[in-house]
Amino acid sequence: MDAPAATRALVPGRGFGLVASRDIAAGETVVRERAVLCGVSEAHRALACARCLATTARGTSSRPPPCPGCGQVLLCASGACARDALGHGPIACAAERLTACASAAERVDRERVRFLAACADLRRDAATAPPPTNPADPLDARRRDAAERLAALDRLCPRADDPADGVPRRDVDAAARLRPTLERAVADATSAPDPRGVVGGPAGFAPAGFAPSSPLAAALASIVGSDAENARLLAKEARNAFGVMAAPEFASPTAEGEAASAASAYAASAVAERSVRGAGLYDLASAVNHACFPNVARFDNFDAAFDDPENGFEARGGVNGGVYAPPDELRLVAVDRVARGEEIVMSYRPVGEPTARRRRGLRRAFGFACACARCALEVGWAREDGTSTGDEDARARARAAATAATAATAATAVTAVSAAAAAAAARDHDDDDDDDAAQLAADEAMDASDASRLARVDAVESARRADRIPGEYAMWFARNECPDPRCGGTLAPPNPKAAHMMCNYCGRKRTDAEFFAALEAG
């Protein structure tokens, strides 16, 4: 077994991150791990397995069957699914039944309940773990596994041992609002026999690990978790989960031969964002910090990419006799050589996304202003060109939106209306509000105003701008950006000896011969 390529470490000014513990070759797998937890989105509840997010059972083309306990979600019937092949956790199952009639407005809360109920199932399993464990006992293994997953959740930010890293109000409110549902799910799971029959014998959810003197109510409350605990879990989920896109067949189709302009590429990516099948939380990968030029690309196996020998990933010991890698397995693959001691960084946004949009997205979703070398360069260009940097405050956003509204009046009535609404919304709110629609409209107005400014740039000015791009910068995009401009993915060699690069988002392959031919053609 090789020494681990990277380990968790405190990175000055950036909190915990992952640092290369040895030199890493391009194409090497830096991190390979299974999810701590996966959660299916409401939109894909009837399309993907609720535990592992696969849309087809391994080695077949059939969709996973519905959970026999709740009928609300799908679950793979095979052992290739999640670590737990025994069924839906009884609390998760009860929570699905309780929220089955959620209105459209409650769907986001339903995803939150799904996550908190899965955490409650882990607490329940871990709480019943007797101290001396017997490795031969599958129940012990299950309890240990739950305890390990809870410990992995603890390590994610915001951490309970770092009070300076606060929990957003949105999550505090959600935890309080969802408490009754969660309590009810725990109570329901208590009275119903455990479909897996693994804890506490035939009585199902008998809290076997608790002292008889301990009141049942207290035991149940500790499984529900305190509001503070649950709020923190929701914040961890929001900050660390990796979004998992729809399987190709469910992704929105793009018209054949559609003009591949930047505008259409980002319109397409906005549609794709809505088509997220779920999210996965990981132990090490979630600790990786962001940079706009990443040195690793994240590849996932929800659609069996690692099982296809054509793709060139190193196949090492999967499940089911080593044939298949688990669907929730994630790999961070080195895009380039990484020297020992260098921080492992990945891009939280599509690498080709324009400066302002990318920086706004990072600040809004992750709460930081990116200070990477690429941002420093591009923010400099934006200031020079009078376009937005993504750091504008509410007042500047309102101004841009108002300008766009005026300009749009001549174009289409719809754009004018939405730009005017954005202007009003941006005036009335500061950056802290989470009125997503207003934020989005204001951002679109700013992007439109940048686009119209750029459209007026003449050939001489374009040439001057092209001249200021450093060679390394241009080469990064030529080598590592997916050739499909609608994609936004990053290319990496799937193994150190590969003669091709592969896109981590669309799976497109480009041979080294094709790359050099394209370079020569200019």
Where do contacts with Zn ion occur on this chain (CB under 5 A)? 49, 51-52, 54, 67, 69-70, 76, 81, 88, 93, 292, 370, 372, 375, 482, 484, 487, 489, 503, 505-506, 508
CB of 194 to Zn ion, least distance (A): 12
State which amino acid sits at residue 467.
D
Least distance to Zn ion from the beta carbon of 400, Å? 21
Counting Cβ atoms within 10 Å, is residue 188 exposed (0-12), middle (13-18) or buried (19+)?
Answer: middle
The number of beta carbons lying within 10 Å of the beta carbon of residue 302 is 25
335 or 402: whose CB is closer to Zn ion? Answer: 335
Whichever of 198 and 445 has its CB closer to Zn ion, that residue is: 198
Instruction: Report CA-CA distances (Å) from 191 to 91, 205, 316.
Output: 11, 7, 43
Give min distance, CB of 76 to Zn ion, in A. Answer: 3
- Measured from the CB atom, the residue of 286 and 389 that comes closer to Zn ion is 389
Name the phi and psi angles at 40, rounded to 5. -85, 145
CB of 68 to Zn ion, least distance (A): 7
Least distance to Zn ion from the beta carbon of 52, Å?
A: 3
Choose between 286 and 289: whose C-beta lies nearer to Zn ion. Answer: 289
CB of 267 to Zn ion, least distance (A): 16
Residue 411's Cβ-side half-sphere holds a number of Cα atoms within 13 Å equal to 14
Answer whether 307's CB lies under 8 Å from 323's CB. yes
Cα–Cα distances in angstroms (integers) from residue 442 to residues 364, 402, 436, 450, 456, in the given order: 13, 9, 10, 12, 22
User: How near is the Cβ of 507 to Zn ion at its closest, in Å?
Assistant: 7
Reference 486, options 249, 260, 247, 243; nearest CA is: 260
Is residue 109 within a helix (H) or strand (E), and if so which, with residue range? Answer: helix 107-127
Residue with tokens 């390590």: 155
Among 43, 508, 40, which Cα is nearest to 278's?
40
Q: Toward Zn ion, which CB reaches closer, 241 or 319? A: 319
Question: Whose CA is closest to 278, among 254, 297, 303?
Answer: 303
Q: Which of 229, 215, 218 is nearest to 179 (CA)?
A: 229
Q: Are 421 and 441 in contact (CB under 8 A)?
A: yes
Residue among 439 and 490 whose Cβ is closer to Zn ion: 490
The span from the CA of 113 to the CA of 178, in Å, is: 7
Pick the closer one to Zn ion by CB: 276 or 506: 506
Nearer to Zn ion, 35 or 503 (CB): 503
* Least distance in angstroms from the C-beta of 379 to Zn ion: 9
For 507, phi then psi, to 5°, come to 80, 5
In the complex, what is the shortest distance from the CB of residue 324 to Zn ion, in angstroms, rounded to a whole number?
A: 12
Smallest separation (angstroms) from Zn ion to the CB of 242: 17
Given the DSSP bridges, would you call strands 29-34 and 509-511 parallel, antiparallel or unpaired?
unpaired
Nearest distance, CB of residue 298 and Zn ion, angstroms? 13
For residue 204, give both structure tokens: 């199902």
Length reported for the chain:
522
Q: How far apart are CA 210 and CA 223, in angstroms?
A: 12
- Report CA-CA distances (Å) from 65 to 76, 241, 382: 7, 25, 51
CB nearer to Zn ion: pick between 151 and 478: 478
Which residue lies nearer to Zn ion by CB, 48 or 398? 48
d(CA 146, CA 62): 30
User: Which of residues 81 and 285 has its CB atom nearest to Zn ion in the complex?
Assistant: 81
| 442/455 Cα distance (integer angstroms) | 20
